[in-house]
Amino acid sequence: MTKQELASRDQHFNHYLPAIREIARVQGDEVPSWETIENNRKSFLKSLPESSDLLVFAYGSLMWNPLLHFSHQYHALLTGFRRHFCLDMPFFRGSPEQPGLMMALDTGGHCEGLCFRIPAELIERETQILWKRECCLDGYHPEWVIPEATELNGQIPCMTFVINSDTPRYMSGLNLKITAEKIQTAQGQFGNNREYFDNTLQHLREMNIIDPELESIQQELMKQDASIKNQTSDVRK
Identify which has the larger pLDDT, 23 or 193.
Answer: 193
CATH topology of domain 3-226: Hypothetical upf0131 protein ytfp (3.10.490)
Q: What is the pLDDT of residues 84-106, one digit of tens each?
A: 999 999 988 899 999 999 999 99
Q: Rounded to whole angstroms, how far apart are CA atoms 95 and 92? A: 8
Q: Do 106 and 82 touch, CB atoms closer than 8 A?
A: yes
Predicted pLDDT of residue 228? 73
Would the pLDDT of 3 be above 60?
A: no
Q: Rounded to whole angstroms, how far apart are CA atoms 86 and 105? A: 9
Burial class (CB in 10 A: 0-12, 13-18, 19+), 174: middle
Task: Identify the CA nearest to 191 among candidates 67, 55, 92, 75.
Answer: 92
Q: Which H or E element spans position 205?
A: helix 193-206
Would the pLDDT of 219 be above 70?
A: yes
Pick from 139-143, 222-226, 230-234: least confident: 230-234
Q: Are strands 54-58 and 100-118 parallel, antiparallel or unpaired?
A: antiparallel
Task: Identify the CA nearest to 127 among candidates 78, 161, 152.
Answer: 161
Q: Do 126 and 140 touch, CB atoms closer than 8 A?
A: no
Predicted pLDDT of residue 15? 76
Would the pLDDT of 184 be above 90?
A: yes
Identify which has the larger pLDDT, 92 or 9.
Answer: 92
Residue 8's pLDDT band (cuts 50, 70, 90) = low
Would the pLDDT of 107 be above 80?
A: yes
Residue 58 Cα distances to 5, 14, 53, 110, 148, angstroms: 18, 23, 16, 13, 13
How does the average pLDDT of the chain come out, rounded?
A: 90
pTM across the whole model: 0.90
Q: What is the pLDDT of residues 21-80, one digit of tens each?
A: 888 888 878 899 999 999 999 999 999 999 999 999 999 999 998 989 999 999 999 999
DSSP 207: T
Q: Are strands 54-58 and 158-163 parallel, antiparallel or unpaired?
A: parallel
Domain ranges of the chain: 3-226
Q: What is the pLDDT of residues 152-182, one digit of tens each?
A: 877 899 999 999 999 999 998 899 999 999 9
Q: What is the dihedral of CA 60, 54, 47, 84, to 10 degrees?
A: 10
* Highest mean pLDDT out of 139-143, 169-173, 185-189: 139-143
